[in-house]
Amino acid sequence: MRSTISTMLALLLGLAPLRSFALDHDNLDPNRPIGMEDAYAIPKGEIGLEGGVRFNDRREGRTRVTFQPQIIYGAFDNTQIEIQGDLMSDPHTLVGAAKSGDLHLGVLYNFNTETINLPAFAARVEVDLPTGVNSKGVDTQLTGILTRSFGRLRAHINAGYTVLGSPQAQERPGAYRAVVAVSYPLGYPTSFSDTLIASLYTRESDLRGQRNHSGIELGLRHQLTSRMVLDGGLGTEFSGPADRAALLGTIGLSVGF
């Protein structure tokens, strides 16, 4: 755990200038607070240090708790670099691409801002290094992201595919994931400090022969200060294997530097 976090901080210090920026609660990053993101990168030079605790109360098996430290850096115009290391309870029982202690390195690039005729489109490439418990091989993930506004309501589509570098036992060699979501600013125009997000998702199971995990999530991002955003979310899976989630939950904090 210490080595993963230390590596994340070292990579950040090697990339980042010492500047201060504001964070925007309406900019939706992965898992902040639910499993989707929008098509926009943070501004060039901006840094976000994010952390959250996520629990998965499964219908069968132990409740799993995950600590998700993440660093996001606006490296170039329309480009952000993401460094993350999920740390999970009961790490020896994990299957699939997600292993406790793996170091996730990602790059998101926004191809265009939204126009009258076109939605905003971005692509994210992620590489997961086998630094975690019982982890083997380098996993890769490619995600396409669309964001489209309808008045103050924004609609989002995420579609991705993960390839396992070294699948073990009955693990799938690859799996897809798709999410549709909407976000809406609460209180606008008299106030603008909260964004509500709702999503519907499906993803292939980690093991062959099992049904897709399909569920819904609801989240809220609240602007505490110009440099701090608090987020929380809840969800459930209504279809999937026997150990699918009965209740999902997340609480986190993002700080700008």
Closest among 240, 243, 257, 152 to 195, alpha carbons compared? 152
- What are the respective helix, strand and coil percentages of the chain, to the nearest 5? 5, 55, 40
- For residue 19, the tally of other CB atoms under 10 A from its CB is 10
Integer Cα distance of 174 and 93 in angstroms:
19
pLDDT tens profile 67-122 = 999 999 999 999 999 999 999 998 988 888 889 999 999 999 999 999 999 999 99
**For the chain, what is the radius of gyration of the CA atoms?**
18
Is 83:104 a contact under the CB 8 Å cutoff?
A: yes
- Rounded to two decimals, the pTM is 0.88
Confidence of residue 10 (pLDDT cuts 50, 70, 90): very low
Q: Could you tell me the fold of the domain covering 2-256?
A: Porin (2.40.160)
Would you kindly state where each structural domain of the chain is located, as residue ranges? 2-256
- DSSP helix/strand/coil, 37: coil
